[in-house]
């Protein structure tokens, strides 16, 4: 099936100043029947005019392209989405579990009001989702809490980092998050939004097509980057969910629950289908990349070293960007050679076919990138 990227590029107006200038010179010389030599005041004036026209052409080209799905961005893309009743997903707040503790057990229950706030640094605040009780004779209670700031800012606070109570509660001596904060996501980016607009027509089906399930699953939560739809048996639909930055969701995460709610809606799921939602499976991968320089490149070691490290980072980000993306070592070699390496040797990275239920998961390895030395030309 053809994609947006398969379409030829379009240019509504010439934006190359040299071409605009050449065209103006040709028109003037044709009308006046005289040659414009370098240094001619008229030529200098027309050169200035050509620059202005090229800038206006660039504006015209940009504004016209905003009417096309492939090129539209920002608010222009939002308006393209409205035409298909597709709306950009809002940012979502991070979640965690807070443990409120007493100094010593009490003879009666201790109430912790809803919206009780706690923080790690006085900038990012988490508030309890509902009222909670520490039963009589107990020392603590665990309560679900939500970040008051939407977006990724609330992610990544490790266990115990949220340890300051903002709203004092009688008898409560301390607070601490017992799970790492996660699940926060920024508003949907243009590329994800563009993709949902493109596959919106698939959602009109009542037969449960693959892309219909993909569309509704991607709509469930803004932290979802990709989904894979597999049917091992007639009437059984398995949905595998991949989060942004290649993260694998927990089985009981907000993202998984959101997909389950959306896909089991009677308007989205054929009555004969049994839909089961899973976190994407992670295929562990560990490897090293050894790169070499030629003698003539020795003076550029630092620049090429940084470029190779960036190439490896970009390759790994690309590899875990989509569910079922097979491991192709040639992609990494290509990037490293493009970064300036003379030769690249990989150890532990081989072509691996990965099905739609899985992604590669790269192990942490501080010694992944190795400089192999300088070789003769």
Same domain, 290 and 261: no
Angle between helices 17-32 and 41-65 (to 10 degrees): 130
Instruction: Tell me, yes or no, whether 139 lies in a domain.
Output: yes
Q: Which residue has the tokens 């907000």?
A: 254
Q: Rounded to the nearest 10 degrees, how much is the dihedral formed by the CA atoms of 162, 164, 166, 168? A: 130
Same domain, 210 and 267: yes
Same domain, 103 and 30: no
Instruction: Tell me, yes or no, whether 229 lies in a domain.
Output: yes
Domain end marker among 20, 49, 65: 65
Same domain, 29 and 53: yes
**DSSP secondary structure string for all residues of 163-199:** -EESS--TTEEEEEESS--B--BPSPPHHHHHHHHHT
CA atoms within 13 A on the CB side of 232: 9
Instruction: Tell me, yes or no, whether 84 lies in a domain.
Output: no
Instruction: Tell me, yes or no, whether 159 lies in a domain.
Output: yes
- Sign of the Cα torsion 207, 213, 215, 216 reads positive
| Distance from C-alpha of 43 to C-alpha of 340, rounded to nearest angstrom | 43
- Predicted structure pTM score: 0.72
Order across the sheet with 369-375: list the strands: 343-347, 288-294, 369-375
Same domain, 167 and 101: yes
Instruction: Tell me, yes or no, whether 83 lies in a domain.
Output: no
Environment class of residue 282 by beta-carbon count within 10 Å: exposed (0-12), middle (13-18) or buried (19+)? middle
Same domain, 292 and 308: yes
Strands (E), the chain: 93-102, 110-112, 117-119, 125-128, 132-134, 140-150, 164-165, 172-177, 224-230, 236-243, 274-279, 281-285, 288-294, 343-347, 358-362, 369-375
Same domain, 274 and 290: no
Which residue range(s) make up the domain with 354?
284-375
In this structure, what token pair is assigned to residue 59?
Answer: 């504006």
Order across the sheet with 164-165: list the strands: 164-165, 117-119, 125-128, 140-150, 93-102, 172-177
Instruction: Tell me, yes or no, whether 131 lies in a domain.
Output: yes
Closest CA to 230 of 285, 281, 284, 283: 281
Structural domains in the chain (count): 4
Same domain, 292 and 370: yes
Per-residue pLDDT of the chain (377 residues; tens, 9 = 90+): 566 667 788 888 899 999 999 999 999 989 999 888 888 899 999 999 999 999 999 999 999 999 999 999 999 999 999 998 999 999 999 999 999 999 999 999 999 999 999 999 999 999 999 999 999 999 999 999 999 999 999 999 999 999 999 999 999 999 999 999 998 999 999 999 999 999 898 888 767 788 899 999 999 998 999 999 999 999 899 999 999 888 999 998 889 999 999 998 888 888 889 999 999 999 999 999 999 999 888 889 999 999 999 999 999 999 999 999 999 999 999 999 999 999 999 999 999 999 999 999 998 898 999 999 988 77
Instruction: Tell me, yes or no, whether 76 lies in a domain.
Output: no
Same domain, 160 and 119: yes
Same domain, 275 and 290: no
Domain end marker among 158, 177, 196: 177
Domain end marker among 258, 279, 300: 279
**DSSP secondary structure string for all residues of 211-267:** HHHHHHHHHH-TTEEEEEEE-SSTTEEEEEEEEGGGPPPPTTSHHHHHHHHHHTSTT
Same domain, 260 and 290: no
Going by C-beta distance under 8 Å and a sequence separation of 6 or more, which residues neighbour residue 272?
235
Instruction: Tell me, yes or no, whether 48 lies in a domain.
Output: yes
Same domain, 262 and 301: no
């Amino acid at each position: 099936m053809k994609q947006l990227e398969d379409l030829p590029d379009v240019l509504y107006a010439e934006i190359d100043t040299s071409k605009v200038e050449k065209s103006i010179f040709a028109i003037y010389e044709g009308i006046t029947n005289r040659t414009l030599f370098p240094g001619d005041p008229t030529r200098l004036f027309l050169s200035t005019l050509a620059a202005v026209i090229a800038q206006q052409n660039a504006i015209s080209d940009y504004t016209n392209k905003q009417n096309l799905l492939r090129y539209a961005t920002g608010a222009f893309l939002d308006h393209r989405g409205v035409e298909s009743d597709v709306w950009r997903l809002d940012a979502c707040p991070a979640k965690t579990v807070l443990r409120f503790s007493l100094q010593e057990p009490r003879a009666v229950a201790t109430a912790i009001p809803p919206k009780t706030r706690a923080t790690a640094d006085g900038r990012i605040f988490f508030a309890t989702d509902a009222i909670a009780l520490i039963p009589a004779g107990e020392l603590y209670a665990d309560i679900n809490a939500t970040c008051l700031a939407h977006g990724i800012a609330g992610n990544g606070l490790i266990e115990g980092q949220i340890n300051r109570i903002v709203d004092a509660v009688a008898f409560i001596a301390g607070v601490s998050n017992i799970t790492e904060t996660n699940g926060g996501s920024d508003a949907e980016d243009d590329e994800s939004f563009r993709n949902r607009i493109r596959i919106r027509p698939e959602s009109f089906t009542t037969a449960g097509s693959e892309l219909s399930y993909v569309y509704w699953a991607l709509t469930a939560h803004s932290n979802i980057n990709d989904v894979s739809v597999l049917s091992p048996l007639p009437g059984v639909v398995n949905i595998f969910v991949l989060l942004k930055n290649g993260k694998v969701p927990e089985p009981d995460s907000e993202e998984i629950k959101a997909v389950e709610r959306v896909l089991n809606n009677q308007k989205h799921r054929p009555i004969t289908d049994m839909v089961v939602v899973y976190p994407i499976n992670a295929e562990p991968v560990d490897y090293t990349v050894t790169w070499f320089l030629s003698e003539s490149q020795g003076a550029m070691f630092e620049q090429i070293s940084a470029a190779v490290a960036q190439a490896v980072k970009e390759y790994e980000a690309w590899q875990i960007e989509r569910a079922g993306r097979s491991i192709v070592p040639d992609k990494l070699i290509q990037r490293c050679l493009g970064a300036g390496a003379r030769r690249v040797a990989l150890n532990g990275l081989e072509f691996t076919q990965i099905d739609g239920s899985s992604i590669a998961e790269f192990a942490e390895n501080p010694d992944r990138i190795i400089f192999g030395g300088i070789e003769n030309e």
